[in-house]
Amino acid sequence: MIYKLLRYAIAILFGSMGYVGADALSTLMVSIWDEKMLQMGVFGISAVMILYYTISILLAAFIGYLVSQFILRIGLRVAKQIERILSRVPSQQLVAGTIGLLFGLIIANLIGMAFERVPIIGSYLPIALSAVLGYIGIRLGMDKGPDLYKAMVSYTFRGLLNKGRSPKESKVKEIRTCSAKVLDTSVVIDGRILDIVNTGFLEGPFIVPVFVLEELQKLSDSADTLKRNKGRRGLDLLQTMREKLTESMEIIDVDYEDLSEVDLKLIRLSMDKHWKLITNDFNLNKVATLQGVGVLNLNDLANAIKPKMTSGETLLVRIMKAGKEPHQGVAYLDDGTMIVVENGVDYVDQTVNVVVTSVLQTSAGRMIFARVEESNS
pLDDT digits 0-9 by tens, 17-38 = 888 887 777 766 655 554 445 4
Residue 334 predicted with pLDDT over 70 = yes
Higher pLDDT, 91 or 377: 91
pLDDT at 175: 35
Q: How far is CA 310 from CA 333, 355, 368, in A?
A: 15, 10, 10
Higher pLDDT, 3 or 221: 221
Helices 42-87 and 2-32, axial angle in degrees (round to 10): 140
The model's pLDDT over 97-127, given as tens digits with 9 standing for 90+, comes to 788 888 888 888 888 787 777 776 667 777 7
CATH code linked to domain 178-303: 3.40.50.1010
Higher pLDDT, 294 or 123: 294
Return the SS3 of 210: helix
Residue 177 predicted with pLDDT over 60 = no
Point out the least confidently predicted range of 60-74, 99-113, 301-315, 317-331: 301-315
C-alpha span between 64 and 173 (Å, rounded): 65
Query: Residue 171 — pLDDT band, cuts 50, 70, 90?
Result: very low
C-alpha span between 280 and 300 (Å, rounded): 9
pLDDT at 307: 67
Residue 90 predicted with pLDDT over 50 = yes
What average pLDDT is seen over the chain? 76
pLDDT at 363: 55
**What burial class does residue 84 get, using C-beta atoms within 10 Å of its C-beta: 0-12 exposed, 13-18 middle, 19+ buried?**
exposed
- What is the arithmetic mean of pLDDT over 278-296? 85
pLDDT at 148: 63
Pairing label, strands 295-297, 328-332? unpaired
Query: Residue 161 — pLDDT band, cuts 50, 70, 90?
Result: very low
pLDDT at 376: 59
Q: What angle do CA 271, 236, 256 make, to 5 degrees?
A: 25
pLDDT at 337: 79
Q: How far is CA 361 from CA 183, 324, 367, in A?
A: 24, 20, 7
| Helix, strand, coil tally for the chain in percent (to 5) | 65, 15, 20
Residue 163 predicted with pLDDT over 70 = no
Q: What is the CA radius of gyration of the chain?
A: 36
Residue 151 predicted with pLDDT over 60 = no
The CATH H-level (homologous superfamily) assignment of domain 308-376 is: Nucleic acid-binding proteins (2.40.50.140)
C-alpha span between 180 and 111 (Å, rounded): 42
Query: Residue 342 — pLDDT band, cuts 50, 70, 90?
Result: confident
pLDDT at 157: 42
pLDDT at 29: 62
Domains of the chain by residue range: 2-87, 178-303, 308-376
- What is the arithmetic mean of pLDDT over 86-103? 74
